[in-house]
Amino acid sequence: MKSFRTEIENPIVEKDILELDRKIQLFKEGKIDEERFRSLRLARGVYGQRQFGVQMIRIKLPYGKVTSEQLYRIAAVSDEYSRGRLHITTRQDIQIHHVSLDRTPELWAQLEKDDITLREACGNAVRNITASETAGIDRAEPFDVSPYADATFKFFLRNPICQEMGRKFKMSFSGTDDDTAISFIHDLGFIAKIKTENGVAKKGFKVLLGGGLGSQPRHADVIYDFLEEDILIPTIEGVLRIFDRFGERSKRAKARLKFLVKDIGVAAFLELVADEIQTLEFQTVQIDTAAFEQPITFQELGIPAVKIANEDAFQKWKETNVIKQKQEGLFAIGIKVHLGDFYTPKARLLADLVKKYAANEIRLTLRQNILIRHIREELIPFFYVELKKLGFANAGYNSTADITACPGTDTCNLGISSSTGIAVVLEKVLEEEYPYYLNNREIAIKISGCMNACGQHNMAHIGFQGMSIKAGNLQVPALQVLIGGGILGDGKGRFSDKLVKVPSKRGPDALRILLNDIEQNQQKEETFLAYYDRQGKIYFYDLLKGLSDTTNLVPSDFIDWGHSENYVKAIGVGECAGVVIDLIATLLFESEEKITSAEEALKENQFSDSIYYAYTAFVNTAKALLIAEDIKTNTQAGIITSFQEHFVASNKIKLAGSFEDLVYQMKDENPTEAFAKKYLMDATLFYKQIDAHRKSTVSYV
């Protein structure tokens, strides 16, 4: 096995990277099965690509904050290990494509030198914590949500309760009632609120639970109108523990939190959470906001002289791309990043600008753009000139002409038809035929290459979903057209209605028909959504249905956007959720690892973590025996009940009491050192008993 040096000072991070390197070698030697290895690499941000033999690396950037040093580092890594292209996602991450699996540990080690992680960027874990990109500068915000998003990210990174859940878990923090972080589509969404009691203003959050997109979108439920800031972290931990214990694990399509909440009801779910919070080590967690309240400083105080060549273009850009901050005399500049893709030479030059003339920080946005913060008013012309040199001064930031699209068939295994290809064409239609939409923020257009909605198409005003349709014996790339979704504010939103499937090459005509109709028939000051509701779904279906006719196809209809040959539908194995079917031997091996992790946490006086590692060892061990008997293991709670019924009650396995009482000690005991030691010993003895039983009855395959 090759040796590998990380040169990382943080021992926890170094161990994580070395473990990935070791598991890659074991996988190549055939000592770890493919499914288990997939789960492990996904939890470390390494995602299989549509192209054979290369990986997509997802870099986890909480609430989209990036310093110039971090941007330099990401650019260097992309040049060294990939092709110099950076892709901004709708979760404020950056993705790097076409990376060799062997080199992923080295890549990760390089990123960590500037405090950048891959950990839990993919897989069944807490994904990147998103937030309003204007958090901290928004004139309407009650307070800056950035430190709360930051604290949530740090508290749950590598936290044992959310390492191997049934599915991914997404959270967002919105700074104002405009809800720009889209709380209603998240597993947990938070909107900043101030509540005044007896003349004292308190910070807190409106909390939404159980939202999601995908093939079955669900609007999140409001569970608290006001949750005080110091119980934010315990509430999240309680929700995660209940999801981990009761969430579906066998049926991928039903494994998200939204299905659990729907099945048992919000009230019953919150009762479980309330009981769980009582068992936590910390009932309250104070969040330190001091680091986000420091004075804004600038490296360069001079004002470089510039000449504006086209004053009209400059003024149009200012109208659409420049935002006044709550800090007196400071502004933010939005950069419209075409499809979220930009390249390392531009990234470095942008980092130079931000470091010297702003406050050394950008925020990546949920619409795949970049927001530069803290720019003095007198520097706005200079930034325009410099950004124009980089191709970053296109007007229309966050406008209708600023289309959101996932990578689709470019790199994703699940892509059905090209999302980036049609996005390019639609943006061109808007630019050339409807230029006034550069200043329109009322209509958002979003595109996904499949039903999983990474491009958030099914909550857009106008959405397109990649599909295929049959024409004789041939497949035609197609788009499902959706209309009527959007953010309503303060936690309210709506999902789009599916209207009609059209060949992809007719996508531009679909957009033209919709925009022309709106211009002709929309009443003065009537919003797009109000107009859609007034006319109704059938009206818009009738407008578009002629485009769905497949009896008059021409040869070009069989070729997808951005391609030169006839379309072939090719869908691989999706890894968005990282769901795996565990083998018995792998489960028992995992139990050993959990027990080791519990021992290490105990040595570090992390008693709550140790207890949870021991708990998962109990569950994994019991699950191994249940799988051997072909007994359902859909949820952790079900595993515990089924093991008692099938093995303990039948005396196949002899315990001093019931298995439920043995495992659920963690719910009744405080997370003290004494209990952590006892619980770990119980888990260890149980594992040894089950391992011995298994070896005496069945041979491993």
Quote the CA–CA distance of 67 and 353 in Å, as a whole number. 11
Reduce the secondary structure of 618-643 to three states and give it as a string. HHHHHHHHHHHCCCCCCCHHHHHHHH
125 found inside a domain: no
Q: Which helix (H) or strand (E) holds 469?
A: strand 462-471
Across 333-358, b (16+ Cβ under 10 Å) vs e yields bbbbbbbbebbbebbbbbbebbbebb
* Strand-pair partners of 477: 468
Cα distance between residue 341 and residue 308, in whole Å:
27
Cα-Cα-Cα-Cα dihedral sign, residues 596, 119, 101, 165: positive
pLDDT over 80 (residue 579): no
Answer yes or no: is 396 within a domain: no
CA distance 538 to 451: 22
Residues 272 and 137 in one domain: yes
Asked whether residue 580 carries a pLDDT value surpassing 60, the answer given is: no
The two tokens of residue 568 are: 């072939």
- Residue 126, beta-bridge partner list: 169
Two structure tokens written together for 4: 């590998």
The distance between the two most distant Cα atoms of the chain, rounded to a whole number of Å, is 86
DSSP class of residue 295 equals P
Position 6 confidence tier, pLDDT thresholds 50, 70, 90: low
Is residue 540 domain-shared with residue 656, that is, in the same domain? no
Number of domains in the chain: 5
Whether residue 1 is predicted with pLDDT greater than 80 in this model: the reply is no
Dig out the tokens for 695 from the structure.
């070896």
Question: Are residues 464 and 425 both part of a single domain?
Answer: yes
Question: Which of 242, 265, 291 finishes a domain?
Answer: 291
| Residue in 221, 206, 223, 213 with CA at minimum distance from that of residue 256 | 213
Q: How far apart are CA 430 and CA 433, in angstroms?
A: 5
Residues contacting residue 65 through CB under 8 Å, at least 6 positions apart = 146, 150, 361, 362, 363
Query: Which structure tokens are listed for 3?
Result: 């040796």
Q: Looking at residue 65, which CATH number applies to its domain?
A: 3.90.480.20
Same domain, yes or no: 325 and 371: yes
204, pLDDT greater than 60: yes
pLDDT of 471 reads: 87
DSSP 251: -
Residues 554 and 422 placed together within one structural domain of the fold? yes
Residue 268 sits in the same domain as residue 344: no
In a domain, 6, yes or no: no
User: For the segment 424-478, what is each residue's pLDDT rounded down to a tens digit?
Assistant: 999 999 999 999 998 899 999 999 998 888 899 999 999 999 999 988 888 899 9
| Euclidean distance between CA atoms 457 and 481, whole angstroms | 9
Give the pairing of strands 474-483 and 497-503. Answer: antiparallel
Of residues 520 and 588, more confidence is placed in: 520
Look at residue 459 and tell me if it is in a domain: yes
657-691 confidence digits (pLDDT tens): 999 999 999 988 889 999 999 999 999 999 999 98
Statement to judge: residues 380 and 414 lie in one domain: no
Q: With a cut of 80, say whether residue 35 has pLDDT above it.
A: no
Chain position carrying tokens 């009632």: 177
pLDDT at 519 over 70: yes
Q: Is the pLDDT of residue 169 over 50?
A: yes
Q: Which candidate, 208, 118, 114, 222, places its Cα nearest to that of 170?
A: 208
Interhelix angle 11-28/34-42, rounded to 10 degrees, is 150
203, 317: one domain:
no
What domain range includes position 59?
11-112
Query: For residue range 152-166, what is the model confidence (pLDDT) as tens digits?
Result: 999 999 999 888 888
Does the pLDDT of residue 346 top 60, yes or no? yes
- Weakest-pLDDT range from 146-160, 370-384, 628-642: 628-642
- Do 136 and 285 lie in one domain? The reply is yes
Instruction: Quote the CA–CA distance of 652 and 694 in Å, as a whole number.
Output: 11
- In this structure, is residue 657 part of a structural domain? yes
297 contacts 361 by C-beta, under 8 angstroms:
no
Judgement on whether residues 535 and 457 belong to the same structural domain of the protein: yes
Single residue among 112, 142, 177 that ends a domain in this structure: 112
Same domain, 552 and 486: yes
Q: Which two tokens stand for residue 263?
A: 């099945």
What is residue 531's three-state secondary structure? helix
- Determine, yes or no, domain membership for 123: no
Q: CATH no. for residue 182?
A: 3.30.413.10
* Each residue's pLDDT tens digit, 469-515: 988 888 899 999 999 999 999 999 999 999 999 999 999 999 999 99
The residue from 82, 112, 142 where one domain ends is 112
- Return the pLDDT at 144: 98
Token pair, residue 354, equals: 């931000």
With bands split at pLDDT 50, 70 and 90, how would you rate the model's confidence at 358?
very high
Residue 582 pLDDT class (50, 70, 90 cuts): very low
Secondary structure class of 349 (helix, strand, coil): helix
Average model confidence (pLDDT) across the chain: 91
Same domain for 427 and 526? yes
398 lies in some domain:
no
Amino acid 32: pLDDT: 81
Whether 618 and 663 have beta carbons less than 8 Å apart is answered as yes
Give the model's pLDDT for residue 587.
77
**Local confidence band at 274 (pLDDT 50, 70, 90 cut-offs):** very high
Mean pLDDT of 592-606: 91
Pairing between β-strand 130-131 and β-strand 171-174 as defined by DSSP bridges:
parallel
pLDDT digits (tens, 9 = 90+) for 558-576: 998 888 888 877 655 455 5
One-letter amino acid of 329: G
Is 239 within the bounds of a domain? Answer: yes
Whether 684 and 662 have beta carbons less than 8 Å apart is answered as no
Rounded Cα distance between 482 and 133, Å, is 27
Q: Which amino acid is at 544?
A: L
**Sign of the dihedral defined by the CA atoms of residues 570, 556, 403, 483, in that order:** negative
